[in-house]
Amino acid sequence: MCPDKKEWRPRHRFLASAATLLLHVFLLSEVIADETAALTLDDAVAQALAGNPGIAEIKARAEALAAVPAQEGTLPDPSLNFDMLNVPVNSFSLRREDMTMMEVGISQTIPFPGKLGLREKAAQHEALAAADSVDEARLRLARDVKQAWWRLFYYDRALNVTADAEKFFQQLVDLAQARYRVGQGAQADVLMVKLELSRLKDEKLELIGMRHGESNQFNVLLNRTPETPVRIAPQATVSFPDVRGENLQTQAGERNPRFAQRHEMLDAAKTRVDLAEKDYYPDFTVGAGYAVRQDTPAGESRSDFASIRLSVNLPVYAGRKQAKAVDQRRSELLKEQYALQDEHNKVNGEIAAKTAEYRHSKEKLALFEHEIVPQAEQTVSSLMAGYPVGKVNFSDLLRAELTLFQYQTQYWQSLTRTQQLLAELSSLAGGEVGHE
């Protein structure tokens, strides 16, 4: 089934106009300037990915590790030496003794064949794992931004619902006072609705405070100063794809960078084991030198000397050194194997839990949208029509309106939660849910 996508637009009485919403956004302690552009969800994610310092930090680390493989796969620097040999200490003459000479030489250490390649290969896997960590961080950041954006979207809608309820209760105040003046109503009705109106004002202040705190955190994600005014677009494209846990788990195994990172670290650990086993074999050092001798005091010439050197290190402490290194690397390999399996279990478990929650929220949203809220609206309309002529008890009308107010708020909570869960599932699956 194709994902159900639609652009949100007001359809019920409680889905008020954008103008009313903006009026209450202006009531926030943060003042939104006219020139401040409304942030869509896509704009917010793009801004966060472009400027978040956390992403830049991880990316810089990955770039640093990308420069390591070439270093690991290169021979050690050669050594150049200058020597004065066999100089007599009683005269420090360079001519008196036949074996006195000046020598220049060069030497190069050559690891046993295969060691350099294994070192470079291990470093390449670690560099690729670091690159995957950048992708993972970008997915996490996009998820956090989406969830924060939808929370702000909910606060704006809740403020809008509160504004509608305030208007309705003010109408009730006027109506109850008019009936009380002509002796058809009770003063208690007027006091009761005024109390509810005051309570709504308190809830509005609480919503404004929560939105202000969420705006601060949202700005941090976008690498902006916390006090920057945040204006959320009054319309949003919502998606309700048919989510299946098994498909998402398969997608996660193929696309989630957390798994790719763990696989690279596992391959690096395997290579480190091979390298540790190679350390049983010695490395070589080759060198050459040329020694110059000066003429004798009598003027006789002396022949210069040339030399060639070859040396190897002897792994005579293999039982305490190389063998222990192999044990260490094998334990590290086991650690990475367990870490990969644990990552699979965690991600699959999270996908299963979030999928079930998403389906529940989706069903709850449909129930509110198609049954509960319309029925509550019809009930209020019917009671409102009967109250002015004395056919409806005032407390019943007040209770019905309060119930409608709660259902409208719960509708927006369910809508917001479905979109937040999709953001979480997209992060777990390594890509947008419902898209190829």
What whole-number percentage of the chain has pLDDT above 70?
90
DSSP-assigned states of every residue in 129-159: HHHHHHHHHHHHHHHHHHHHHHHHHHHHHHH
pLDDT digits (tens, 9 = 90+) for 265-308: 999 999 999 999 999 999 999 999 999 999 888 788 889 999 99
Q: What is the mean pLDDT of residues 18-25?
A: 39
Q: How high is the pLDDT of residue 33? A: 38
Encode pLDDT of 353-404 as tens digits. Answer: 999 999 999 999 999 999 999 999 999 888 888 767 667 777 888 888 889 9
pTM, entire model: 0.81
- The sign one gets for the Cα dihedral 34, 53, 264, 353 is negative
Average pLDDT, the chain: 87
Closest CA to 84 of 98, 100, 95, 96: 100
pLDDT surpassing 50 at residue 87: yes
| pLDDT given at position 178 | 75
The pLDDT of residue 307 is 94
**What domains sit in the chain, N to C, each tagged with a CATH number?**
4-75+111-280+315-429 (1.20.1600.10)
Predicted confidence (pLDDT) at residue 260 exceeds the cutoff of 90: yes
- The string of pLDDT tens digits covering residues 31-50 is 333 335 789 999 999 999 99
Position 92 pLDDT exceeds 90:
no
Q: Are 269 and 328 within 8 A, CB to CB?
A: no
- Residue 307 · residue 291 · CB < 8 Å: yes
- Asked if residue 173 has pLDDT above 90, the reply is no
Cα dihedral 423/426/430/432 (nearest 10): -110
Query: pLDDT tens for residues 395-436?
Result: 888 888 889 999 999 999 999 999 999 999 999 999 888 544
Quote the crossing angle between the two packed helices 394-429 and 187-221, to the nearest 10°.
10
Of 142, 228, 139, 203, the closest CA to residue 409 belongs to 203
**Which two three-digit tokens encode residue 36?**
């401040």
CA triplet 65, 66, 70: central angle to 5 degrees?
A: 105
Q: Do 428 and 254 touch, CB atoms closer than 8 A?
A: no
